[in-house]
Amino acid sequence: MAEKDGISRREVLSGGLRGLGLLGIGTATGALATRDRSDDEVWQIDPDACIQCGLCATECVLEISAVKTVHSHGMCGYCELCTGYFEPDPVNLDEGAENQLCPTGAIERTYVEHPYYEYRIIPDLCVGCGKCVKGCNMFGNGSLYLQVNPDRCVDCNRCAIASACPAEAFRLVPRPTPYLLRGKEGT
C-alpha cells in the first residue's frame, strides 16, 4: 500500500498488534501476580483424605518419591505389637525382616519400658509406599501418615501424584506453614 513517511501499513499494523500482545500478557501477568497470597504455595497431603493406595511411591517425578511417612509421636500408642511395623501375621514378635511391614526397613523400633516401644521413621530409607500408614490407620491410632517433604519436592507445575491421587487428597498450602500435620503439631 501507500507508504507514509517511510512507514508501511504493515509495519503500523504489526506495531499495533505487538502493543496489544504486550498489553494482554501484561494484564494477565499482573492480574495473576497481584492475587492475594502471603507467599507461594506447596503441595501437601490431607492425612484424613489419604487412603494409602501406594501411588505416592510410584507417581512422583523423583526416583524416590518426595512423599514420606511422618510420625506424630504424641499420638502414638507405643504398642508392643504395632500394626504399622509388623506384618499382620508375624512369624515371631521380633524385629526380623520377615516380620516387618516396611519394605526398606525405615522404621526403627526401640524398647522404652515394659510394654512400650518407640517407633521412629528413618526419612532417608522411607520410600513413601504407605504400607505402615495403612496398618496404623486400620488398627492403630493413625499417628503415622504420608506427607510431601517440601525440601525434596521439586515444585512441578502440577504435582504428578496429585493428578493420579484417587482420593484427591493433595492440597496447596501456603509456604510459610508448609505442613498439614496430625496431633499437637497440627495446630
Which of positions 84-143 make contact with another protein (CB under 8 A)?
88-90, 93, 112-116, 118, 120-121, 123, 137-142
CA angle 131, 134, 136 (to 5 degrees): 110
Main-chain phi, psi angles of 19, to 5 degrees: -60, -45
Which C-beta is closer to another protein: that of 25 or that of 105?
A: 25
The minimum distance between CB 73 and another protein, in angstroms, equals 5
Binding mask 140-159 for another protein (x = CB under 8 A): xxx----x-xxxxxxxxxx-
CB of 98 to another protein, least distance (A): 13
For residue 60, the one-letter residue type is C
Judged by beta carbon, residue 33 or residue 97, the one nearer another protein is 33
- Work out the widest C-alpha separation in the chain, in whole angstroms: 98
**Residue 45 Cβ, how far from another protein at the closest point, in Å?**
12
Minimum distance from residue 157 beta carbon to another protein (Å): 4
Interstrand relation of 144-148 and 41-45 (parallel, antiparallel or unpaired): unpaired
Grid coordinates belonging to 121 = 521413621
Q: Can residue 75 be called a binding residue for another protein (CB under 8 A)?
A: yes
Least Å distance between CB 102 and another protein?
A: 16
Give the phi and the psi of residue 58 in degrees, each rounded to 5: -110, -25
Among 7, 12, 77, 105, binds another protein (CB under 8 A): 77
For another protein, the closer CB: 77 or 105: 77
The dihedrals phi and psi of 7, each to the nearest 5 degrees, come to -110, 120
The string of DSSP letters for 69-119 reads: EEE-GGG----SS-TTTB-SS-SSSS--GGGBS-TT--EEEEEEETTEEEE
Per CB under 8 A, the list member of 2, 4, 6, 32 interacting with another protein is: 32
* Residues whose CB is less than 8 angstroms from the CB of residue 164 and which lie 6 or more positions away in sequence, other chains included: 55, 59
Residues from 2 through 31 that contact another protein (CB under 8 A): 14-15, 17-18, 21-22, 25, 28-29, 31
CB of 95 to another protein, least distance (A): 14
Residue 135 and residue 100 in contact, taking contact as beta carbons nearer than 8 Å: no
Q: Is 33 in the site for another protein (CB under 8 A)?
A: yes
Whether 172 and 43 have beta carbons less than 8 Å apart is answered as yes
